[in-house]
Amino acid sequence: MEPFQLVLARNFNIWNYAAAICSEERAIEAAKRWLLIPSQTPRCPSCGRPMNAETNINYKLGFRWRCRRAGCNVIRSPLKGTFFERSNVSILNTMRLLLHFFRKDKVSQAARDVGVTRKTAIQIYHYLREVCEVAEAHDRDMIGGDNDIVDVDETHLYTNKYHRGRLLQRQTWSFGCISRLTKKIHVELIPNKIGPH
């Protein structure tokens, strides 16, 4: 089986993850596949034209975006707006810390296994916790109301329509609610209803 599929398959575990995400290149590829890093060419915020990749090995992804149009000269990091932007370690190590975080491993354990300082691991954990809190708060109070109709669908997390479900594919059962009024989605995980092993 193709390594990334293996990670997303029902036998998701740390060994498959480590085998699939074994280098910086693979980590970047995975982050793009799972939509943690945008893979499309952005448009210049000033003129709206597609930006150009300017390569340099010193950049984290090996390039940055630039609009070369005379009046613009806009430069943008391909990691802008992603949580990798705030991480001061490689994409690979950030992805590894992410796995430890998902597994609820102690931060000192994560630091030792990944080979980063405790301070770095704490920073990433802290930031991931922030992301979770924002996502959770966003979900909490956005659905329903007097003039709203909420559709419930147990399969929402599995469809490609909602990209946030990709990493959780086949691991966790859930149901999704979607507001007809605001089009906002609320996803609820069902912890004890595990898919077939």
Using the minimum distance from each CB to Zn ion, give the nearer residue, 67 or 114: 67
Cα separations in angstroms, 142 against 163, 179, 185: 19, 9, 8
Please state the closest distance from residue 90 (CB atom) to Zn ion, in A.
Answer: 30
Tokens of 53: 């990749």
Q: Which of 38, 62, 67 is nearest to 50 (CA)?
A: 67
Please state the closest distance from residue 49 (CB atom) to Zn ion, in A.
Answer: 6
Beta-carbon contacts of residue 116 (< 8 Å; ≥ 6 apart): 89, 93, 97
Please state the closest distance from residue 85 (CB atom) to Zn ion, in A.
Answer: 21
Where does this chain bind Zn ion (CB under 5 A)? 44, 46-47, 67, 69, 72
Using the minimum distance from each CB to Zn ion, give the nearer residue, 49 or 129: 49
Using the minimum distance from each CB to Zn ion, give the nearer residue, 73 or 109: 73
CA distance linking residue 125 with residue 122, whole number of Å: 5
Using the minimum distance from each CB to Zn ion, give the nearer residue, 77 or 179: 77
Using the minimum distance from each CB to Zn ion, give the nearer residue, 43 or 193: 43
Please state the closest distance from residue 43 (CB atom) to Zn ion, in A.
Answer: 8
CA distance linking residue 168 with residue 12, whole number of Å: 10
CA distance linking residue 96 with residue 3, whole number of Å: 16
Please state the closest distance from residue 73 (CB atom) to Zn ion, in A.
Answer: 8
Residue 86 dihedral angles phi and psi, to the nearest 5°: -95, 0
